[in-house]
Structure 1
Amino acid sequence: MTTTSTAAEALAAGSPFAALRDQLLTAAETFAADAADAPDAVSGILAGIVADVDRALREPLEIFPVCHHSPASALAMARRLREKQPKVIYLELCEDLRPLLDELRNCRLPVALQAFASDLDGFPPGWGPLSVVAPITEASAEYQAIAYALDTPGVEIVLVDRSSDHVFQWLPREPPAAAPQAGEGEAEDASLHGDAVGIEIGDLRPGFAELEEHLLHHGKVRHWSEWWDQYVEQPLAGADYETYRQVMVLIGSLFRRLRPSASSARSDRRDEDRERYMWTRMREHLAATGADPAECLYVCGAYHAASRVAEFGLHAEPTDYAIEPRTATRWLYGLIPSSHSAIEAQFGLASGSVSIAAATWAKALAASGVKPYRLQGQQGGKSGKRPKRAPAPAAPAPAEVTDRLSGFLARPPALSGLDEAELLGWCVDIVRLARRNGYLASTADAIAVFETSILLAGMRNRARPTPYDFQDAAVTCIEKDVVPGRRDVRRLCEILLGGDRIGQVGYHALPPLAQDVYDRLAPLGLDLTKRTQQRALLDLAADPDLEPCSQLLWMLRYLLPDGAVRPIMGARRLGERPIQESWDLRIGAHQREIIELGYEGVTVEQVLEQRLRRSVWDPQATPAVALKAVEDAILYLGSRRFTDELGARAVELLAAERTVDDAPEVLRRIRRLLAHYRSTEPELPAWCESFVTEGYAHYCTLLPTAFVAEDTGVRQVGAMLGFLFSMEGLALSLGCDRAQLEIAVRQSHPEAPAKVALLWAAQTQLGMMTQAELRARCAELMDNPLVLPAFPQYLSGFVQALEPVPSLTPFVVELLSTAFGRLPDAVLLPWLPTLITTLRKESPELVPVLVREAGRTFPASLPALDAWTPPWSARAKGAAPSAGPSGGGGPVAALLAAHPAPTDAVAALLGIDAPWAPAAPGAGEAAGHPEAAALLAAHPGTATAVAALLSPALS
């Protein structure tokens, strides 16, 4: 805490506050007489406060100090405007928000003025998007000034605070990648205001934690909002204008001086820069327009009214202060809904304090008879003609400043007596509301709340119970220790005293995109301004005109957060066209998000296209992200040109990829896209062909490395093989070389058991290993006691191999059955949970394949199971294979003899006219058909494999 010099705190000659200063200095000396410290600190602070009040009141440009969302400030503002009728009002608000003020008449308060920027230029990239909000309520002095200026002819309102761009320019930038943190009067909120920096007029709260704790303790209140209501709002509600001004400047100066210098240096510097900015703008406007300062009014926070910067006042000496230029960031502006709870969260106020302030404002208007200003045409207000400006009074001579502080500080405030009717109404209503919410409240509880409210007020030295006393009494007498419903009694009291009023931006104040959304959803026949959830039923078959609504709803579901639009029935998939849809809509509750979409484009389609393009050009984009964007573009936009652009980007990302982490996602999406194009287009797009050829070469190149890399999982390698095998036919037709895949497989030498199993499956698919050899290798593994503990890992690899080699499904079922029968319990039991979790996590789509194959293999009833012999057991016990495909007595000959029709058809295709006649037993070749015998002898593999599969049936 620092002190200032006596000269700096000296009062002007003949100041009416000289007696008050002397009195305070005498009190300071008496207070510090027995203290170890010299009285200079206390006396300097007290003298400085009086000097600040004198300086502010002597300024030719009348300063109106306010507190944000203060009914007392709003009441004093309404009185002063009707008395003075100024021609120019300077308002402490971001100067670039001025065009938004005219749109307030189309809204229902509370709403917030917003500046939004997503494309940053001059700010750290990690800060975006940037958002500034300034909430406006009816019980605020700034709204009274705005309504007066906009509805009174010949009155100009000028916003003089720094621009939204300067708000972020003045924020600290360390660490560089961190998001901007809010300072005094600037906080982050996660409700209606989103992650925005809040701007308020008149943040009056001690910056010294010990001072606030001291005030709360001796004031017998729980939080700052209650202290302010009890000791500032209530006494100033009925005070005259001069008393109000002097008290507010006094409070602002006190809180400004009682701040720890170490922790507030940055905040003080920012506040002083704001004051220099505002005084510079006001002098520029006065010089440009020639307005008379006597007909102007400067509305600012009481904290800034006690400013000590060199630029303060119209007669300040010139300084070298210059306003920095704005950055090249493009700012967009609009109105968003606000609420009492959002304002409380934004500025750290106690829950319910803004609702109580609104109730206090309504009561003060009824008691004082003051007629407030209200924008003509304001939603929720009365319609009528715009008022004409009353004849301007003659320029009044500067009023003589008199000391009102001494009397105000010396006498206790005039406290109004108990308003029994008001308190009784509260008590009856809270009991009724509590019963509706499940509480077992009765008339006795209403009486108890009434008496307890009076008791608490008396214990806290209050002449009448405040809403906070009533809340405490209701919680004590009604809630007990059980909350039967969603709302506790304290929340019910807030609802009773005004509730969480939520504003709404009118149609004409919405950006074009939001208006377009409302217009296009009009055929649904719903009131989309309601915040409640509404059900929309779309019978697209009976009413095709609703298809545009369906298309828009799906795009909004993609762009808006969860809960705004939620499909109950219907889906959006490639190749599907819904017949009926059902939606739950809460458009009104998410108006802010829709408005912010309007900052990104003119239509929803444009915003969606920009977001998809931004996602694929992001530095962290992957081929899977690009393929997802392609799919979304097909589903929601239907633009072939844009889809081809995204597809070409997917090819570029795949070519530049150095890892295969996204291989499973890439395989799943490219399969779905190929199936879609094959069913809807005469030919594949060029980017699809490029993606297949590029992917074939890319995965062939990375395959040997992926097999041995420890950070590459089995699922990723399986997906690579799945891409290569499933796309092989298309890739070869487009010019790829199969030898590249064979070389890649031959160069792969994995060590992990699961990857070894994958390699064997790949070799089987390529013909490098027969299934008999594969079965023999697995048998060797199970016979080796050293390998037996690792055999479950081989099984996991074979399960993953079903993706690239689905023909191995019968073999995997055979292998699993053999493993369950032969593995010892010490190996099998610990492995079973791992197998189940692995299948569920990494291969959920493969489980149905195994189940279907097992259903075809195993008998369906218990009696059949007793006599059932596994096919692989019968095959192992069968006779040795025949000498040749046409040898007599072998399974091939028996198969051909039993089913001659396919052979005759093949012979006809080959130009052999004679029908098939198998040779007699023991004959070396088919009698009379040497061509067929030669064909079978040259290609025995197919017939032998088919005969081996059917050997149990033939036997």
Structure 2
Amino acid sequence: MTGTTEGTFAALRTQLREAAATFAGGPDVLESILLGLVDDVDRAVREPLEIFPVCHHSPASAIAMARRLREKQPKVVYLELCEDMAPLLTELRNCRLPVAVQAFATEVDGFPAEWSPLSVVAPITEASAEYQAIAYALDTPGVELVLVDRSSDHVFQWDERGTQDAEPADPDAPPAEEEAALHGDAVGVELGDLRPRFAELEEHLLRHGRVRHWSEWWHQYVELPLGDSDHDTYRQVMLLIGSLFRRLAPGDSHRVHVDEDRERHMWTRMREHLAATGTDPADCLYVCGAFHAASRVEEFGVHGTDTFEIGPRTATKWQHGLIPSSHAAIEAQFGLAAGSVSIAATLWAKNVGRTRVRPYRLAGQSGAGAPRARKTAAVTAPVPAVAPEDRLTGFLRRPPVLDGLDEAELLGWSVEVVRAARRNGYLASTADAIAVFETSILLAGMRDRAKPTPYDFQDAAVTCIEKDTVPGRRDVRRIVAIMMGGDRVGQVGYDALPPLARDVHDRLAPLNLRLQQRGVQRALLDMTGRPELERCSDVLWMLRRLLPQGAARPIMGERRLGERSIQESWDLALGTHQRALIELGYEGVSIEQVLEQRLRRTAYAPRATTATVLEAVEDATLYLRGRRLPDELGTRALEVLSAERTVDGAPEVLRRVRRLLAYYRTSEPVLPPWIESFVKAGYAHYCTLLPTAFTDEDATVRQVAAMLGFLFSMESLALSLGCDRTQLELAVAQSHPRDPSRTALLWAARTQLGHLSRADLRAKCDELLGNPLVVPAYPRYLSGFVHALEPVPGLTDFVVEAVSNAFGRLPDPVLLPWLPTLITTLRAGGAELAPLLIREAGRIFPGRLGALDEWVPPWRTQPEPAAARTARRPAAGGGVHALLAAHPGTCDAVATLLGCEGTWRTADPGSSGAALAARHPDTAVALEALLTGG
């Protein structure tokens, strides 16, 4: 250091040397650190381009910024913000703060695919120095605003995910609720980040400051003292804090290297702008975080070196826009204490009224301005006389002061919290208000504070008002947070929305709802009386498909293939989910385009299955008009099916193909070519996999049953398209399962093919019940039969018979042990098929309890002996004679149908009928029963 530099903070340097010698016993590292802090401050103060250090969302920084801008009137403002976000800042005048400037990318090129989607947000509140600088630059003629921080693309280029240690979560951070999740998992750009990077340092400050979290420490020891300080004092104190945190940060961490590269990037950009425009550095102002203001990189300053090269951006296409933010979202993303941003907003209003500083505000800014606080003269302690250049010594010596305004404010808080507690069911009284007031002062004294902070007041209110139970939905801590201002949620105005979001609002205009408003609104659609609302219904169904749950929720009405509701009722919360709607605008210019892109992305994904592609086909048919996209995706489903080697998705494939076939058969003159090809390919595909699936341990019974269901239900269509049934018969013949449930499923398939009669199937079940060694496994056989109802629904009566026989034949000591297994097996694997069994049982069993004793199961009814049928046939033939003679035309038609040749004898018509009946006795008996209804 030169002699001039030594003289700037000579008094402070002398005191620091003495302190180091006293505490360390002599010059050592402590002295170099303490003197290094002063060197950093002196270096930043002497920089020709004025550096204005700020803290993220700090009211003291905002007040100091507004005051300095009016005094200096700079021509160029350099701002620490991603350089590619500059075009969006003019749209802030169409929004209600807080909002966040966002860069968003869904299709990445140059980054790992698992990082997608990429998102960077920079939240902006009114009580922030950044907003004051933006408002001044945009509304002051002749002033240029230049963003100098790395681009959004470089944010991820310099990111090393998974290599750096994750910071511990703040225990006082708000829960991830709806407002706290407004930013999602975006990477946050902290404008004016100022927090210790050294864990031991932060712990030391919290312990000796007797506070619970960092937000409370900053509010007590920095925010309040700097709230009404002059510019030089504010600037030097912030530079000192930034230097302290920087010098005590871990030197080998990845974050430090990123911080230094950001500083090199920013100073390089500023020097490039100064060289290109010829602007005098004295007419400029550099707004950055205090951590970066005390930089020691070689590129620091307008006379720094130009050795840093800014790399090119990747080919990733970035979309930019504004999204709503909230105090809770900012706190959650940046690890701040719950309610700290709301307290900062309250303190901002208080400082505006106390200091009489006129803040900047964008012309046309939506929403109410900062609330006007009561104007009262501030009481300050006398400051010792020091050199004008050195304000640190006086600030560090000045004791804190409790003024009358804080006491009046604390009294008002105490009265208001009691009033709010009463509204929420607490039995609070005036005595509780007095107790809260006194306890707040007591807690502040115990924590060595000159005046109670909002955090002290919150603890006092919980202690004095909240007892062992919470009578309502809100506890006292939440009541205090609401009373302090609560969470403030921003809103992006219509003019600042992307084209897609504006298009959605325009198309939903016939609903006559305030879609920008937060909360749930009810929309009633009567398409019969107002046909134009059908277009609104189409938009709402697409929004339901694209937006998070709750944004558009149908209360009445549904949309299925081939069905359209004539009346619908919706709960809409588009204002609450405005961020999700805005991010849709990054993907396309209309919701139809976004939906089509997403369906294609799903269908052509590397891990797409046949079931997911068929779901995309169904969604394209439901929500998009035309056949082009469904046919394209259907062709894709055929390709995926041919490449699959497992049967995991067979149940879903069967369900969706059946639904699509039913739709096309009722709404189209002919089937689409892709679904005919799909049925042919699916028939051959599942025939090939069937023998392996019967023995594969990874395949479930439900999946094998779905394969058989596809083969049997699509058999007629497949055969008409040229498939060979022999392929299915060979596949069944080559199947040799060992599992009981799959064995029963194979028996059902053989019965459907005609290879196994009902009598043989009944005999197999009787054999199982008669074998004591097999009886414990009988529930698994029943499970297989239940799943067989999917491909062979005609076996429903037989399954009822098999279950009834088991309950009728087995004794209780055998039946009761496996009865729970039967119930759980049927519930787990065949819950959707149980209604078939219940309906069939209701049809077979008697409806009254009294008839049960005389009831005989239909499967136990003995068939009539052949001899008795033969003895009855002549009589039947004779009885038919008169009927045949009375209806000769009908008789001729039946004879032709049966292939019988013969002529009527006019001489004796009765003998002709008798002869015909004698030649075909079974037909005569059946015909008599048919015609007589017997």
TM-score computed with the length of structure 2 as normaliser? 0.92
Alpha carbons of structure 1 residues 30 and 897: separation in structure 2 relative to 1, 3 Å:
farther
1:906-921 equivalences in 2 (<5 Å): 906-907=894-895, 909-910=897-898
Provide the rounded CA distance (Å) in 2 between the counterparts of 1:26 and 1:558: 70
Provide the rounded CA distance (Å) in 2 between the counterparts of 1:610 and 1:830: 55
Which of 233, 242, 257 matches 2:223? 233
Kept after mapping to 2: 8 A contact 1:896/1:903: no
SS of the residue aligned with 1:97?
helix
Which of 19, 43, 55 matches 1:27? 19
Residue 906 (structure 1) shift: 4.0
Counterpart AA for 1:448: A
- Are 2:861 and 1:889 aligned? no
1:318-337 equivalences in 2 (<5 Å): 318-319=306-307, 321-337=308-324
- Are 2:193 and 1:210 aligned? no
Residue 862 (structure 1) shift: 0.8
Which of 53, 57, 61 matches 1:65? 53
Alpha carbons of structure 1 residues 300 and 151: separation in structure 2 relative to 1, 3 Å:
same
- Are 2:273 and 1:290 aligned? no
Partner of 2:63: 75
Partner of 1:870: 857
SS of the residue aligned with 1:279?
helix
Alpha carbons of structure 1 residues 914 and 362: separation in structure 2 relative to 1, 3 Å:
farther
Task: State the Cα deviation string for residues 382-438 of structure 1 (Å, max 9, x = none).
Answer: 89xxxxxxxxxxxxxxxx971111121223244434534322221222122112222
Counterpart AA for 2:266: M
Counterpart AA for 1:783: G
Which of 489, 492, 504 matches 1:505? 492
Residue 788 (structure 1) shift: 1.9
Alpha carbons of structure 1 residues 891 and 59: separation in structure 2 relative to 1, 3 Å:
farther
Which of 140, 145, 159 matches 1:152? 140
- Are 2:186 and 1:166 aligned? no
Residue 183 (structure 1) shift: 11
Partner of 2:37: 49
Residue 508 (structure 1) shift: 0.3
Kept after mapping to 1: 8 A contact 2:169/2:335: no
Task: State the Cα deviation string for residues 921-953 of structure 1 (Å, max 9, x = none).
Answer: xx9x9843289739969xx9xx89x99xx9xx9
Kept after mapping to 2: 8 A contact 1:762/1:805: yes
Partner of 1:387: none
Kept after mapping to 1: 8 A contact 2:783/2:829: no
Residue 515 (structure 1) shift: 0.6
- Are 2:510 and 1:526 aligned? no
Residues paired across the two proteins, number: 901
Provide the rounded CA distance (Å) in 2 between the counterparts of 1:371 and 1:32: 47
Alpha carbons of structure 1 residues 745 and 403: separation in structure 2 relative to 1, 3 Å:
same
SS of the residue aligned with 1:90?
strand
SS of the residue aligned with 1:342?
helix
SS of the residue aligned with 1:132?
strand
Residue 261 (structure 1) shift: 3.5
SS of the residue aligned with 1:679?
helix
Task: State the Cα deviation string for residues 335-359 of structure 1 (Å, max 9, x = none).
Answer: 0000011111111111111001000
Alpha carbons of structure 1 residues 39 and 483: separation in structure 2 relative to 1, 3 Å:
farther
Provide the rounded CA distance (Å) in 2 between the counterparts of 1:611 and 1:707: 36
Alpha carbons of structure 1 residues 459 and 14: separation in structure 2 relative to 1, 3 Å:
closer
Task: State the Cα deviation string for residues 186-210 of structure 1 (Å, max 9, x = none).
Answer: 9997611111111112221122222
Counterpart AA for 1:631: E
Alpha carbons of structure 1 residues 801 and 184: separation in structure 2 relative to 1, 3 Å:
closer
Alpha carbons of structure 1 residues 145 and 935: separation in structure 2 relative to 1, 3 Å:
same
Partner of 2:551: 564
Residue 830 (structure 1) shift: 3.6
- Are 2:100 and 1:108 aligned? no
Which of 298, 304, 317 matches 1:310? 298
Kept after mapping to 2: 8 A contact 1:92/1:300: yes
Kept after mapping to 2: 8 A contact 1:188/1:196: no
Which of 246, 269, 286 matches 2:236? 246
SS of the residue aligned with 1:589?
coil
Kept after mapping to 1: 8 A contact 2:118/2:186: yes
Task: State the Cα deviation string for residues 173-225 of structure 1 (Å, max 9, x = none).
Answer: 447xx9x9789999997611111111112221122222222222222222111
1:901-940 equivalences in 2 (<5 Å): 906-907=894-895, 909-910=897-898, 927-929=914-916, 933=920
Partner of 1:787: 774
Partner of 1:396: none
Partner of 2:248: 258
Provide the rounded CA distance (Å) in 2 between the counterparts of 1:25 and 1:420: 39
Alpha carbons of structure 1 residues 309 and 593: separation in structure 2 relative to 1, 3 Å:
same
1:649-664 equivalences in 2 (<5 Å): 649-664=636-651
Alpha carbons of structure 1 residues 932 and 627: separation in structure 2 relative to 1, 3 Å:
farther
For structure 2, which runs of at least 5 residues remain unmatched after alignment? 371-386, 906-910
Partner of 2:375: none
Kept after mapping to 1: 8 A contact 2:99/2:325: yes
Alpha carbons of structure 1 residues 11 and 343: separation in structure 2 relative to 1, 3 Å:
farther
Provide the rounded CA distance (Å) in 1 between the counterparts of 2:162 and 2:174: 18
Kept after mapping to 1: 8 A contact 2:174/2:328: no
Residue 773 (structure 1) shift: 1.3
Residue 39 (structure 1) shift: 4.1
Alpha carbons of structure 1 residues 285 and 879: separation in structure 2 relative to 1, 3 Å:
same
1:574-589 equivalences in 2 (<5 Å): 574-589=561-576
Partner of 1:393: none
Alpha carbons of structure 1 residues 182 and 158: separation in structure 2 relative to 1, 3 Å:
farther
Partner of 2:739: 752
Provide the rounded CA distance (Å) in 1 between the counterparts of 2:827 and 2:666: 31
Task: State the Cα deviation string for residues 802-821 of structure 1 (Å, max 9, x = none).
Answer: 11111111111111100111
Residue 540 (structure 1) shift: 1.6
Alpha carbons of structure 1 residues 486 and 558: separation in structure 2 relative to 1, 3 Å:
same
Which of 192, 200, 219 matches 2:190? 200
Alpha carbons of structure 1 residues 380 and 13: separation in structure 2 relative to 1, 3 Å:
closer
Which of 272, 277, 281 matches 2:260? 272
Alpha carbons of structure 1 residues 895 and 574: separation in structure 2 relative to 1, 3 Å:
farther
Provide the rounded CA distance (Å) in 2 between the counterparts of 1:56 and 1:423: 39
Counterpart AA for 2:627: R
Worse overlay, 180-189 or 131-140: 180-189
Residue 549 (structure 1) shift: 1.0
Partner of 1:373: 360
Partner of 1:475: 462
Partner of 2:474: 487
Counterpart AA for 1:294: A
Kept after mapping to 1: 8 A contact 2:552/2:573: yes
Counterpart AA for 2:550: G
Provide the rounded CA distance (Å) in 2 between the counterparts of 1:158 and 1:66: 17
Provide the rounded CA distance (Å) in 2 between the counterparts of 1:76 and 1:380: 23
Provide the rounded CA distance (Å) in 2 between the counterparts of 1:674 and 1:340: 52
Provide the rounded CA distance (Å) in 2 between the counterparts of 1:931 and 1:368: 121
Kept after mapping to 1: 8 A contact 2:554/2:570: yes
Partner of 2:79: 91
Provide the rounded CA distance (Å) in 1 between the counterparts of 2:919 and 2:796: 32
Kept after mapping to 1: 8 A contact 2:174/2:331: no
Q: CA RMSD in A?
A: 3.1
Counterpart AA for 1:197: V
Which of 337, 351, 363 matches 2:350? 363
Task: State the Cα deviation string for residues 664-688 of structure 1 (Å, max 9, x = none).
Answer: 1111111111011111111100011
Alpha carbons of structure 1 residues 252 and 635: separation in structure 2 relative to 1, 3 Å:
same
Kept after mapping to 1: 8 A contact 2:109/2:314: yes
Residue 880 (structure 1) shift: 4.2
Kept after mapping to 2: 8 A contact 1:122/1:329: yes
Alpha carbons of structure 1 residues 741 and 825: separation in structure 2 relative to 1, 3 Å:
same
Partner of 1:17: 9
Partner of 1:630: 617
Partner of 1:800: 787
Residue 522 (structure 1) shift: 1.2
TM-score computed with the length of structure 1 as normaliser? 0.90
For structure 1, which runs of at least 5 residues remain unmatched after alignment? 1-8, 384-399, 918-922
